[in-house]
Amino acid sequence: MAELPVTKKSVLYCGVCTLPPEYCEFAASRKKCEEWLKDAHPAEYARLYNDQAITQKLAMTTLSEDRVAKEAAKMEKAMSKEEARMARELEKKMSSKVVIKRVERNKRKCVTSVFGLDVFGVDLKKTAKTFANHFACGGSVSKNPQGLDEIVVQGDFSDEILELICKNHPEVPRDNIELTEEKKPKKVAA
């Protein structure tokens, strides 16, 4: 072991399932991985997927034929399940709303809370920091009464935040962003 030349190897990882491409066939996103590799690394693709026949034979030697068929069927099922899951997730994403709320603290002061960004895979902490930097004010991530994370920015920046989100996070569809206002209920005179 020690006499082997120890050099750094650069390893290619699949852009879809993050494994080395040779393991893609075991991932549930097999088809997508294959397409990705074809686009991104044609040479590697030719090497891995042209040997298909060879690898198949390898499988045959260790497993009997009807077991192979069974495994394939299982794989197929897992794949369709995975696809359904992805579709569901996408739908959830599309239907979920980002709510920008202006909350009044007292007469002239208010905070702006942004809720629902995490669904789109946005890092809340970082975004809160960028908001705070951008508007030169306090910005933090805090739990709302429902126990879910939201970004709270001190000051009224609803419109600016809307624009900033659209600019920085194009993955959030603009139609899903909602602006609302919440006023403190007036104190009932005792």
Partner 1 sequence: MFKKFNLQETMSGQNSVKSSVVRGIRSKLLDQFPGLEPCMDDILPKKANLIQIKCKDHITLYAVDGEVMFFQHFNDPITPTLRLLHQYPEILPQVKVDRGAIKFVLSGANIMCPGLTSPGAHLPEENIPEGAIVAVMAEGKEHALAIGLTKMSTDDIKSINKGNGIDLIQYLSDPLWKTRID
Residue numbers at the binding site for partner 1 (CB under 8 A): 1-2, 4-11, 17-20, 22-23, 26-27, 55, 58-59, 61-63
**Number of neighbouring beta carbons within 10 Å of residue 172:** 20
DSSP string, 99-158: EEEEEE-SSS-EEEEEESGGGGT--HHHHHHHHHHHHTS-EEEEE-TTS-EEEEEES--H
| In the complex, least distance from residue 94 CB atom to partner 1, rounded to whole angstroms | 24
Virtual torsion, Cα 156, 160, 166, 167, nearest 10 deg: -130
Q: Smaller CB distance to partner 1: residue 21 or 139?
A: 21
Q: Smaller CB distance to partner 1: residue 21 or 110?
A: 21
The 3-state DSSP class for residue 179 equals: strand
| In the complex, least distance from residue 125 CB atom to partner 1, rounded to whole angstroms | 10
Q: Smaller CB distance to partner 1: residue 6 or 190?
A: 6
Q: Smaller CB distance to partner 1: residue 3 or 175?
A: 3
Pair type for strands 110-115 and 139-143:
unpaired
Q: Smaller CB distance to partner 1: residue 148 or 166?
A: 148
Contact status, residue 30 vs residue 24, Cβ threshold 8 Å: yes
| In the complex, least distance from residue 19 CB atom to partner 1, rounded to whole angstroms | 5
| In the complex, least distance from residue 32 CB atom to partner 1, rounded to whole angstroms | 15
| In the complex, least distance from residue 69 CB atom to partner 1, rounded to whole angstroms | 15
